[in-house]
Amino acid sequence: MNFIAKYFPNAVTMKDEFVQATGETLYMTFITAVVAGIIGMAIGVGLIVTQPGGILENRVVYNILDKIVNLCRSIPFVILLAVIAPLTRLIVGTAIGTTAAIVPLVIGSAPFYARQIQNALSEVDRGVIEAAESVGSGPIAIIFRVYLREGLPDIIRSSVLTLISLIDLTAMAGAIGGGGLGNLAINVGYSRFENDVTIAAMLIILVLVFAIQLIGDLWARKVDHTA
């Protein structure tokens, strides 16, 4: 404790704030991950099956999905936060606070995840899909029993990548009123020149990122039987 008291004089007095901020960051990350995960997964699968040569080839649907993903990914997140504030207010009732931050977080991360899923699933061997078709599997069976199953190791790796970038986004959202560790680091640590608070917040974020990376790697390795 002496060590902490010596090098983190301000942070050590803010234990409650840190606990609350960490909770907020986890809350934003978790809810966004679930919502953006479902949306991104659906769009990613949609892109794969409707792409040229896909099992449900459809040029119109593919182009629409592709353009939406590109468009959303082109907007810098900080600007997105401001631009969609009215939409956020419409959905959540307010544009400020942790729950309100989830709207831009979802819109910011779902297209990214969709692209990751598309990449992961495009690694599934076309021949395996054809083999499944040849034994009479329909599109639904091929999506759930072949694509999502064969692509699982890559899906896990992409999910880790997306989660980590999502934590990055929560910090940004936090800085403009969403709460969480980003808020603590910028609005307390940086603004009040309490550098140790910033560093402490950063360290907690690093621990979160490493934990996600580690669990993801172990999990992916466990389900990967390609070698």
Partner 1 sequence: MTNEAIIQLKDIDVTFHNKGQTVTAVKNVSLTVERGDIYGVVGYSGAGKSTLVRVINRLQRPTAGTVEVNGQDILGLKPKELRVARTKIGMIFQHFNLMASRTIADNVGYPLKGGDLSHEERQEKVAHLLDLVGLTEKAADYPAQLSGGQKQRVAIARALANDPEILISDEATSALDPKTTSSILELLKRLNRELGLTVVLITHEMEAVKEICNKVAVMDAGEIIERGDLVTIFSRPEKPLTQDFINTATQVDQAREKIFKQARTLGLDDHHRLVQLQYVGASTDAPLITELYKRYGVVSNILYGNVEILQDTPLGNLIVVMTGEPDKLSAAWQYCQDAGISVTQLQPTDPEVA
Catalog residues that contact partner 1 under the rule CB under 8 A.
125, 127-128, 130-138, 141, 145-146, 149-150, 152-153, 223, 225-227
| Residue nearer to partner 1 on the CB measure, 24 or 150 | 150
CB 60 → partner 1: shortest distance, Å?
A: 18
| Residue nearer to partner 1 on the CB measure, 86 or 136 | 136
| Residue nearer to partner 1 on the CB measure, 74 or 226 | 226
CB 216 → partner 1: shortest distance, Å?
A: 17
Question: Sign of the C-alpha dihedral, residues 74, 78, 79, 82?
Answer: positive
Q: Which of 29, 172, 28, 38 is nearest to 100 (CA)?
A: 28
| Residue nearer to partner 1 on the CB measure, 48 or 208 | 48
Question: Sign of the C-alpha dihedral, residues 193, 194, 200, 205?
Answer: negative
Which of helix, strand or coil describes residue 54?
A: coil
Rounded Cα distance, 218 and 220, in Å: 6
CB 126 → partner 1: shortest distance, Å?
A: 9
One DSSP character per residue, 153-195 reads HHHHHHHHHHHHHHHHHHHHHIIIII-HHHHIIIIIIITTT-H
CB 122 → partner 1: shortest distance, Å?
A: 16
